[in-house]
């Protein structure tokens, strides 16, 4: 507006001496006034309907991106972080431990290193149980620190009890990922010809971080325990317990002595 006023003032002052120049200045001043008023009107006009719609849509998209549940819109969000799919409460995986069957194996203590029972063609006869975390059907969840409590009874009188020894395991607990099978030793014939129940009192694994810690743990670890069994049939209760003390599975078995001196476990179904 200031420039338009200057043009007008000059045009008035020279309108008599230079009428043509004054006319041009009048026209320029009027044009400047028109342009200034037009621009001022554009600034004060409300946005059009299409602009409102686009702005609203952009705001809505931004809000949804900020508040969206990454699982609901897929496994990825804007930063490409991956999230596991949600699992319904009734679909949570649980261990599916079961006693597969009684076993008969030849076992021995390892010749070197910690006292651990392992299979050997030249070993002694042993009766045990095969335990599995069955992954069939809907699947099974992992369970760690499973111990097997074994109790021998003569009718209602307890003969012997303790935590069982797992094959190829130093401590008395083992882990069961889905599909895993482990063998539990229940009774073994030793070199004197007698049959003994075998249990494992060790609750901790051997440390493998340092040699000194390994040697100290090995020296302080209690040995496997053996208890002479009477020359008669007994009942055997086996209870599988997790690391929190919860009972996972329990079953009754028969410990049978045969006339030829052999022994075995059978399921008490």
Instruction: Give the pLDDT of residue 144.
Output: 95
Helix (H) or strand (E) holding 267: strand 263-267
Using DSSP's 3-state secondary structure scheme, residue 6 falls into helix
Q: Is the dihedral of CA 70, 72, 76, 79 positive or negative?
A: negative
Residue position matching structure tokens 């003569």: 154
At 46 the pLDDT is 54
List strand residue ranges (DSSP E) for 140-246, in order.
Answer: 143-154, 157-163, 165-166, 174-176, 181-189, 195-199, 225-228, 234-241
Task: Indicate left, alpha or beta for 69 from its phi (over 0: left) and psi (-120 to 50: alpha).
Answer: beta
**Domain 94-267 in CATH 2.70.50:** yes
pLDDT value at residue 140: 80
Domain assignments of the chain as residue spans, ordered by start: 2-67, 94-267
pLDDT at 79: 46
Give the three-class secondary structure for 40: helix
Strand partners, 263: 257
pLDDT tens for the chain, residues 1 to 269: 555 555 555 545 655 565 555 555 556 565 555 556 656 665 555 555 445 445 555 554 555 555 544 444 444 344 444 554 554 544 567 889 999 999 999 999 886 677 899 999 999 999 999 999 998 866 689 999 999 999 999 998 999 999 999 999 999 999 999 999 999 999 999 989 999 999 999 998 876 777 776 777 667 788 999 999 999 999 999 999 999 999 999 999 999 999 888 999 999 87
The pTM of the full predicted model, rounded to 2 decimals, is 0.64
Q: Which of 184, 174, 183, 168 is nearest to 142 (CA)?
A: 174
Which pLDDT score, from 0 to 100, does residue 75 have?
42
| C-alpha–C-alpha distance, residues 220 and 206, integer Å | 11
pLDDT of residue 33: 52
What is the rounded distance in angstroms from the CA atom of residue 126 to the CA atom of residue 105?
5
């Amino acid at each position: 507006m200031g420039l338009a006023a200057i043009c007008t003032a000059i045009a008035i002052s020279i309108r008599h001496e230079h009428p043509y120049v004054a006319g041009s200045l009048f026209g320029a001043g009027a044009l400047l006034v028109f342009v200034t008023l037009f621009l001022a009107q554009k600034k004060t006009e409300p946005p059009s309907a299409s602009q409102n719609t686009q702005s609203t849509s952009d705001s809505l998209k931004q809000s949804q991106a900020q508040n969206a549940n990454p699982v609901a819109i897929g496994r990825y969000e804007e930063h490409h972080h991956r999230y596991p799919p949600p699992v319904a409460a009734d679909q949570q995986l649980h261990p599916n431990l079961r006693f597969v069957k009684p076993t008969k194996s030849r076992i021995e203590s390892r010749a070197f290193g910690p006292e651990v029972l392992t299979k050997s063609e030249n070993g002694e006869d042993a009766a045990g149980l095969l335990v599995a975390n069955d992954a069939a059907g809907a699947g099974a969840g992992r369970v760690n620190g499973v111990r097997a409590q074994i109790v021998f009874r003569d009718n209602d009188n307890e003969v012997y009890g303790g935590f069982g020894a797992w094959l190829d395991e130093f401590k008395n607990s083992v882990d069961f990922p889905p599909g895993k099978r482990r063998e539990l030793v229940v009774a073994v014939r030793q070199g004197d010809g007698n049959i003994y129940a075998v249990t494992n009192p060790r609750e901790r694994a051997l440390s493998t971080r340092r040699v000194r810690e390994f040697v100290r743990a090995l020296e302080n670890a209690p040995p496997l325990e053996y208890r002479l069994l009477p020359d008669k049939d007994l009942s055997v209760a086996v209870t599988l317990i997790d690391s929190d003390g919860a009972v996972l599975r329990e079953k009754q078995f028969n410990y049978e002595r045969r006339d030829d001196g052999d022994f075995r476990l059978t399921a008490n179904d």
